[in-house]
Amino acid sequence: MISSFRRKRSLVALLGLVAASAALTGCASSSPSSNGAAPKGTYTFWDPYPQFDGSSPWTKLVEKCGTEAGVTVKRTGYDTSDLTSKALLAGQQSNSPDLLLVDNPVVSTLADAGILTDTSETKTSTTDIEKNILAAGQIDGKTYGVPIGANTLALYYNKKILTAAGVDATKITDWSSLTDALSKVTATGKKGITFSGIGTEEGSFQFLPFYWGSGANLTKLDSSDAVSALSLWTDWVKKGYAPNSVINNTQTTSWQEFLTGNFAFSENGTWQLAGVKASGIDYGIISIPAKDGGAAPAPTGGEFLTIPVQKDSARYQISEKIQSCLTSTKNFVSTDNTLSYVAPTVAAQTEQVAQNADLKPWVTAVSDAKGRTSDNLGTKYPKISEQLWKAVQNSLSGSASPEDALKQAQTAAAAATK
């Protein structure tokens, strides 16, 4: 997801969205095969990429994988939120598409609703997938689908500003050294750091590296570690190290602030790499530091390719072939380069870096990343996240102290997840 926030929000749909009724009647739903053989014909595929029309490399790849499996694939792209509601409705009507590509936090919602098969049912291999990326699709010991790639967050920095302030980016290894760098930068008249603290999932997404980097766990929002993380952000705003605008910033608007050339740091994602190159800013990238040193776990964004439950289980054989084709090393590299993702396997990551050395720090960041629904949170995560972003808003705005904001959040999250 998210870290795919900017990309998805800015997409201009080139495909007209198919009406719900038409989309549902267009799903493949044949009768069970009498001989157990996989039915041929048309297989349906839904994804959150309405910007890709029939001539796009993505659509051509999906269709090619279908052809290689001996079937025709009918692909439909929907906006992310629209896709989730349509997938739930189709599942309730036992008329799901054969393959469904969804934002990773949505996997737990669909699995909980009984809409998705797990990889043991479809005999899908996940052996080569990096465990921290795969974890976003795992609930109660079962794995639902395969990640097609991941993105995450790190700190972009302006080399010119840091040099003028006498800051060595390689020495920024913990919160103390990062805050010291912000102090030195603002002393020169430049601005410190910009990020997204908006009251949506986007705000939680950006806060999580600091939250997790403190040692805090999402099951206890009011822990002393959690308070230290929110206090860090709040103090940065109070001291002028971060602008007041962060409370309303999306990842897009905070990025626009960084592109003015006045900010030393921006917390943002893999998807901004092409933009920073085009900006002319002499930039660098470092992992977000944890409180006491080392890289903080940042949340993973990206989608999972899942196989929904079908009336005819024989269809899974062909669906798995298409899934395997789309997640081969060759196609991982092609697809993830297009989507600004880091591949979820070491072999594909190695090829990506060989083709584009600028991806090296992002491969490192993704290796340290963590799924938002990890720790077996599943469908509890959205309810907890909502209270977390509310706490961030309350603290940054000054309406509550970090301690009180997080106490309120913990009480509300506990009630919501009973």
- Looking at residue 38, its pLDDT comes to 82
Fold (topology level) of 153-298+377-416: D-Maltodextrin-Binding Protein; domain 2 (3.40.190)
Whether 196 and 249 have beta carbons less than 8 Å apart is answered as yes
| pLDDT reported for residue 36 | 64
In the DSSP assignment, the letter for residue 341 is: -
139 by Cβ neighbours in 10 Å (0-12 / 13-18 / 19+) ranks as buried
Q: Could you count the other beta carbons within 10 Å of the beta carbon of residue 92?
A: 12
DSSP per residue over 223-280, as a string?
SHHHHHHHHHHHHHHHHTSS-GGGGT--HHHHHHHHTTT-EEEEEEEGGGHHHHHHHT
All residues at 6 or more sequence positions from 106 whose CB lies less than 8 Å from its CB, including other chains? 1, 84, 87
Same fold yes or no, 2-151+301-367 and 153-298+377-416? yes
Q: Cβ neighbours of residue 218 under 8 Å, at least 6 residues apart? A: 211, 375, 377, 381, 384, 388
CA distance 261 to 157: 10
Q: Which residues, 6 or more positions from 69, have their beta carbon under 8 angstroms from its beta carbon?
A: 43, 318, 321, 322, 325
Asked if residue 46 lies in contact with residue 110, where contact means CB atoms within 8 angstroms, the answer is no
Contact 274, 151 (CB under 8 A): no
Please give the pLDDT value at position 35: 52
Under 8 Å CB-to-CB from 366, ≥6 apart: which residues? 130, 133, 150, 151, 152, 270, 300, 342, 349
pLDDT for the residue numbered 16 = 29
Compute the distance between CA of residue 154 and CA of residue 366 in angstroms, rounded to an integer: 9
Contact criterion met (CB below 8 Å) for 231 and 402? yes
Residue 164: its pLDDT value, please?
A: 98
Cα 103 from Cα 373, distance rounded (Å): 12
Neighbouring-strand partners of residue 306: 100
What is the DSSP secondary-structure string of 388-417?
Answer: HHHHHHHHHHTSS-HHHHHHHHHHHHHHHT
Block residue for tokens 């196989």: 307
Residue 196 near residue 302 (C-beta atoms within 8 A): no
Can you give the residue ranges of every domain in the chain? 2-151+301-367, 153-298+377-416
- The angle at the Cα of 216, spanning 271 to 395, to the nearest 5 degrees, equals 75
Tokens of 178: 């990062």
Within 10 angstroms of residue 244's Cβ, the number of other Cβ atoms is 12
Nearest to 8 by CA among 77, 62, 58: 77
CB 70 within 8 A of CB 318: yes
Is residue 289 left, alpha or beta, with left meaning phi > 0 and alpha meaning psi from -120 to 50? Answer: beta
> Do residues 281 and 257 make contact, with C-beta atoms less than 8 angstroms apart?
no
Per-run averaged pLDDT (10 residues), the chain, 418 residues = 39 28 35 63 96 92 96 95 93 97 94 96 94 93 95 97 98 98 98 97 96 97 98 98 97 96 97 93 97 96 96 96 95 86 95 93 94 90 96 98 98 96
Q: 45 pairs with which residues across the strands?
A: 75, 99
Could you tell me the fold of the domain covering 2-151+301-367?
A: D-Maltodextrin-Binding Protein; domain 2 (3.40.190)
